[in-house]
Amino acid sequence: MNERPEAAVTYQSYLQLDRLLELQTPRSDGPEHDEMLFIVIHQVYELWFKEMLHELDHVASLFRSDKPHRAQHTLKRILTILKVMVAQLDILETMTPLEFLSFRARLEAASGFQSNQFRQIEFLLGAKNEGALSRFPEGSPGRIALERRFLAPTIWDAFLHYLAGEKYPVPPGHLARDYSRLVEPTPEIQLILLDVYRNDTKSAEICERLVDLDEGIAEWRYRHVRMVERTIGHRPGTGGSRGAAYLQSTIGRNLFPDLWEIRSRL
Ligand code: HEM
C-alpha cells in the first residue's frame, strides 16, 4: 500500500509561524506606532511564563525524585530566563509616557493583573492568594488551572521533601501541611537549614539558588513598578488597582522566609 508522503518539516511549519505572526493586532487607529512593541513584549512575556512553569514543575519533580544535581541545573536555567525577563523591561522603557498614553485607552480594563500564568507562577513559588482566583470566571480553563495550583504543593514543599529524603528531621506536619496557605517562618526548619549551610555543600548550593530565585522575582517586581511610575505616574491601573501604590505593596514579601531568617545566624 502506498503511504502518502508527509510534507517535510520546515522552520515555518515546525514553529507554526503563520499562526504566531498573525497574533499581533493593534487596537488603536493609525495604528499608533508603539502599540506593536507593547503587544509583542507582553506576548513574549507570556511565552517566558509558559517556559518558567514548565521548568518549575520539572524542578519540583526532580526534588521529589531525589535528583538534586538536575534540580540545581534546572534552577540555573530558570534564573537565566528571569534575568532576560527583567532586562526586557529596558525595551519597554524606551516608550515615553506620551507614546503610551496615545493608545492606553484602547486597553480598556486589560492589564497584566489578569495574567493567569503569572498567578500560577506565584502560587507555585508559594505566594498563594485566594483572592486571585475570583478574577477568573468559574469553570474557565484558567480558573481550573489556578485552583489546582492553589491546592498543590509549592517548590518549597518539594525542597522540604528532598531534605526529608536526605534524612534531615523535617517535621511530618510540614511535609503534609495545608498547601493553600503561605509558608510561615519555622524555627525547626531554620535549625535544619543552619545544619545544611554548615555541613552539606550540595544542599546549601540549592538553598542559594532558591535565594537567587526569590531575589530575581523581587527584582522583576521592583523594575516593573519603577517602569509603571515613570510611564503612568500615580494614575490607577487599567486593571482597577491603585497602580504603582498597589504594586509597591507587593514588594518585600519573601517567598522562602526561612532562608532569609537564618542569614544573621550563619
Ligand atoms: C507601559 C508598560 C506597563 C504599565 C504602565 C503597567 C502597569 C501596570 C499596573 C498599573 C499594574 C497594577 C494592576 C492594574 O492594572 O491595576 C500592573 C500589574 C501587572 N503587570 Fe504591568 N504594566 C506594564 C507592563 C507590563 C509588562 C510588560 C508585563 C509583563 C507581562 C506586565 C505584567 C504585569 C503583571 C504580572 C501584573 C500583576 C502584578 C501583581 O499583581 O503583583 N506589565 N501593571
Gap from CA of 120 to ligand 1 centroid (Å): 16
pLDDT digits (tens, 9 = 90+) for 161-176: 999 999 999 999 999 9
CA distance 76 to 212: 9
Statement: residue 51 has pLDDT above 60 = yes
pLDDT digits (tens, 9 = 90+) for 70-82: 999 999 999 999 9
CA distance 228 to 240: 14
The predicted model gives 151-160 an average pLDDT of 98
Residues flanking ligand 1, CB < 6 Å: 41-42, 45, 92, 100, 111-113, 115, 118, 224, 227-228, 231-232, 237-241, 243, 246-247, 250
The predicted model gives 246-262 an average pLDDT of 95
pLDDT class of 118 with cuts at 50, 70, 90: very high
**Residue whose CA lies nearest to ligand 1 atom number 6:** 228
Residue type, 239: G
Give 109: exposed, middle or buried? Use CB within 10 Å, 0-12, 13-18, 19+: exposed
**Residue whose CA lies nearest to ligand 1 atom number 32:** 112
Gap from CA of 241 to ligand 1 centroid (Å): 10
In this prediction, residue 1 carries a pLDDT of 53
**Residue whose CA lies nearest to ligand 1 atom number 23:** 228
In this prediction, residue 6 carries a pLDDT of 84
Residue type, 27: R
Distances (CA, A) of 102 to 34, 73, 97, 176, 228: 9, 44, 9, 52, 16
In this prediction, residue 2 carries a pLDDT of 59
Least Cα distance to 239 among 151, 135, 128 occurs for: 135
**Residue whose CA lies nearest to ligand 1 atom number 21:** 112
Pocket perturbation via mutation, ligand 1, pick of 224, 230, 247, 249 by most ligand atoms within 8 A of CB:
224
Atom of ligand 1 nearest to the CA of 232: 5
Least Cα distance to 119 among 103, 105, 102, 132 occurs for: 132
pLDDT class of 252 with cuts at 50, 70, 90: confident
Statement: residue 214 has pLDDT above 70 = yes
Q: Where are the alpha helices (DSSP H) in the chain?
A: 11-14, 17-20, 35-64, 68-92, 97-104, 116-125, 141-151, 155-165, 172-175, 187-199, 201-232, 244-249, 257-261
The predicted model gives 16-31 an average pLDDT of 95
In this prediction, residue 18 carries a pLDDT of 98
On average, the pLDDT of the chain sits at: 96
User: Which grid coordinates are listed for 134?
Assistant: 475570583
